[in-house]
Amino acid sequence: MKRIAVYCGSNKGGRPEYAAAAQALGALLAREKIELVYGGGMVGLMGIVADAVLEHGGHVIGVIPEKLVIKEVVHEKLPDLRVVKTMHERKAMMAELSDGFIALPGGYGTFEEFFEVLAWSQLGWHQKPFGLFDVGGYYHHLLEFLDHTAREGFIRAQHRDLVLAEKDAERLLRRMKAHLPPAEIKWVR
Ligand code: AMP
């Protein structure tokens, strides 16, 4: 994998372990020579993961809509910042540039971005791996809910299994590298 898109909170969250995990992930990506693609912000976990990659000698590509190019929001020290017109362009570019996707803890923005590319995968539009970085069990209830959706017949079991969840960054990345896309790409009928 050459590049991974990381979706994460524009807030730091209420527990220090979230920031620590963002830092650990950034350091790991730099060490593995995997470039970070992210939303281009300096706020919250977004800024922390980008700074960690840069501090450890890695490369970062930020993709940000022009409306968010505001002094307090945009990361001004990125080696590669791409300013796009809309949020939709941003998400398409981030997905296109990346060979895999990781969600750190976050809120609506994080869920929205992660689930959009996941839905594209379900349609067979790409076969890139998904990692949910379940820091301190943050995504426990979401993972349970995904199991529920599969049991209820709204997501196929093999599509439920697209979401690789781990509490440790290295283990998560290892599983993503070993990921094989499912043969079945159809929706549940
Ligand atoms: P959230 O999880 O709601 O905090 O949203 C974070 C996600 O939405 C990030 O992955 C970004 O792509 C996008 N986003 C939300 N707020 C900002 C912001 N202030 N600056 C840049 N991107 C943002």
pLDDT at site 72: 75
pLDDT at 143 over 90: yes
pLDDT digits (tens, 9 = 90+) for 18-54: 999 999 999 999 999 999 999 999 999 999 999 999 9
CB 128 within 8 A of CB 141: no
Of ligand 1's atoms, which has the minimum distance to the CA of residue 113?
A: 10
Neighbours of 86 (CB within 10 A): 11
Q: Which residues pair with 34 in a beta bridge?
A: none
User: What domains can you pick out in the chain, each with its CATH number?
Assistant: 3-178 (3.40.50.450)
pLDDT at site 187: 56
CB 33 within 8 A of CB 58: yes
Judge if the beta carbon of residue 68 lies within 6 A of ligand 1. Answer: yes
Kindly state the average pLDDT of the residues 62-87.
94
Q: Picking from 66-70, 103-107, 132-136, which range would have the lowest pLDDT averaged per residue?
A: 66-70
Q: What is the largest CA-CA distance in the chain?
A: 48
CB 111 within 8 A of CB 16: no
Q: What is the pTM of this model?
A: 0.94
- Interval between CA 112 and ligand 1 midpoint (Å): 10
Name, of 42-46, 69-73, 183-187, the range with top average pLDDT: 42-46
Structure tokens at 22: 């963002």
Q: Among 61, 102, 110, 112, say which to mutate for ligand 1: greatest number of ligand atoms within 8 Å of CB.
A: 110
The pLDDT-based confidence of 181 (bands split at 50, 70, 90) is: confident
CB 129 within 8 A of CB 176: yes
Of ligand 1's atoms, which has the minimum distance to the CA of residue 106?
A: 2
Judge if the beta carbon of residue 134 lies within 6 A of ligand 1. Answer: no
pLDDT at 186 over 80: no
pLDDT at site 184: 63
pLDDT at site 46: 97
Bigger pLDDT: 181 or 187? 181
Q: Which residues pair with 83 in a beta bridge?
A: 64
Cα angle at 129 between 127 and 130, to 5 degrees? Answer: 130
DSSP state of 106: -
Q: Which run of H or of E encompasses 176?
A: helix 169-178
Region for 10 from its dihedrals, namely left if φ exceeds 0, alpha if ψ lies in -120 to 50, beta otherwise: alpha
C-alpha closest to that of 36 among 16, 11, 9, 63: 63
Judge if the beta carbon of residue 83 lies within 6 A of ligand 1. Answer: no
Judge if the beta carbon of residue 105 lies within 6 A of ligand 1. Answer: no
Q: How far apart are CA 179 and CA 99, in angstroms?
A: 12
Kindly state the average pLDDT of the residues 82-106.
97
pLDDT at 128 over 60: yes
